[in-house]
Structure 1
């Protein structure tokens, strides 16, 4: 290779290196780049920390908003005082929680306190007043018990824990615990039970177990004509509804909670808040 050819090859290599070389970076520019990288890393770390907190705040806030609508309708998790799935009927207020330690009494009151008398009871509920006429002539022991429990505040408060909407048509109340198994600590027997088993709409009667001597504090109202079994002596009728049966109709129209909408806790809750009783003079 001639000297001229060597010089040409060297010149070509220099030109190639010049084309592929990156321009030099000043210290100021380099510092800016390093700062930019650090800032980017900080922002990324901040985003990683912040995003879960935003999602956590949304996930905890959403169920709270879904608990109850403006009209008191319960959706999702039940609002305080309501069972899951319950919703307030028009004109009703949220019921108080059931009692955890109801009053208990050693024995039933003397039936002589009600014998031959008629009483009027005003049952104040979260959906309005039910006015009842109590017949101490036909059911003195039952009426004596009802008056005693009312005056002692036994049912304040007390949820109506059962509604039936098929076959029999009743709203059952009187257990302060809301469980359906609570009682006042004493029991007594059946009085004035219709032999036909027919209970006209508006009848006020006692609930009991299979034992005919298990009457206590639970009672029911029939909102339609109802036929009940006569086994064990039937169920004591001790009065009638003289005002407010439309309230019971409204609760029954919403049926019971799933899984059995024909028999169970009412979809539209109702609770007794107070009961006052006065004797009706001749």
Structure 2
């Protein structure tokens, strides 16, 4: 009987060894799978961050709303890039018109009143231009033609008489003024749109930042910050931004028609 018991114990021992080896193999497989899954997760995060950065650079490579060429009486000329010279033409309002002071007022968009404040000391050329166009009624009735809705990248762009990102007041100007350090544009920022890499391509188009947004600088620098929305931003978000874009994308024409009623400053 002893040899049989020894044989049974030997078989049981071999089975236990096989079971242990199988468990070890499975355990090693799980560890390898977890390691592989962690590496894939890290790669996905890196790709998402890189894609978000590329989208921002691409979107603003032509300035918010793509290039804004100087319009003229001929349709073909709307495709002509703005001049790159830093010398402004006589048509551009004198920066002295900003008076080196803070301006306050109200802008209405879709009957939503927005309190605004402009910094004439920090951005004299941009503010003088904005005040001149506003006082002349240039902006009244113009559309806000572009909306971005990516998380952390919220911009509503307005002020193009053509309504498609190609128009302007008939002139362009520079330089870039009051661009923020770190390329961070806080919610409520009002800034000028321009062509990518062209500091002297600003005209009438501007954008309102409705949530904290980082806009990478290009070869020309950042974007001229005119001032800020001091009230009404939440109403603008609920009345315009929350409706999204017409095609459901994160960058396109607003789903609801968006028009500037008037702009008054003092």
TM range (shorter): 0.5 to 0.7
- Mapped partners of 1:181, 1:130: distance in 2: 25
Structure 2 length-normalised TM: 0.62
Matching of residues 209-248 of structure 1 within 5 Å:
209-210=195-196, 211-231=198-218, 232-248=220-236
By percentage of residues, which structure has more helix?
A: 2
1:152 to 127, 133, 136: 136
- Mapped partners of 1:106, 1:273: distance in 2: 28
Q: The residue matched to 2:153 in structure 1 has which SS?
A: coil
1:187 to 144, 147, 172: 172
Q: Give the Å deviation of 1:123.
A: 1.2
Contact 1:157 1:176 in 2 (8 A): no
* More off after superposition, 244-253 vs 157-166: 244-253
Q: The residue matched to 1:246 in structure 2 has which SS?
A: helix
- Residue 265 in structure 1 maps to residue 243 in structure 2: no
- Residue 169 in structure 1 maps to residue 154 in structure 2: yes
Contact 1:254 1:267 in 2 (8 A): yes
What are the ranges of 5 or more consecutive residues in structure 2 without an aligned counterpart? Answer: 1-72, 74-88
CA spacing shift, 1:127–1:270, aligned 2, 3 Å:
farther
- Mark the structure with the bigger radius of gyration: 1
Where does structure 1 differ by over 6 angstroms across 4 or more consecutive aligned residues?
none
1:253-281 CA distances to partner (integer Å, 9 max, x unpaired)? 111111x5211110122201211111xxx
Q: Give the Å deviation of 1:106.
A: 6.0
Q: Give the Å deviation of 1:173.
A: 0.6
Q: The residue matched to 1:233 in structure 2 has which SS?
A: coil
- Mapped partners of 1:247, 1:158: distance in 2: 19
- Mapped partners of 1:114, 1:151: distance in 2: 13
Contact 1:106 1:186 in 2 (8 A): no
1:105-162 CA distances to partner (integer Å, 9 max, x unpaired)? 9611100111411111311222311121000010000000000000111011101111
Instruction: Name the count of aligned residue pairs.
Output: 174
CA spacing shift, 1:170–1:186, aligned 2, 3 Å:
same
2:101 to 87, 105, 117: 117
1:198-248 CA distances to partner (integer Å, 9 max, x unpaired)? 001111111111112111111111111100011121111110001110133
Larger RCO (CA within 8 A; separation ≥ 6)? 2
Q: The residue matched to 1:130 in structure 2 has which SS?
A: strand
- Mapped partners of 2:172, 2:216: distance in 1: 20
User: Partner residue of 1:199?
Assistant: 185
Q: The residue matched to 1:221 in structure 2 has which SS?
A: strand
Contact 1:122 1:129 in 2 (8 A): yes
Matching of residues 87-126 of structure 1 within 5 Å:
107-126=91-110
User: Partner residue of 2:122?
Assistant: 138
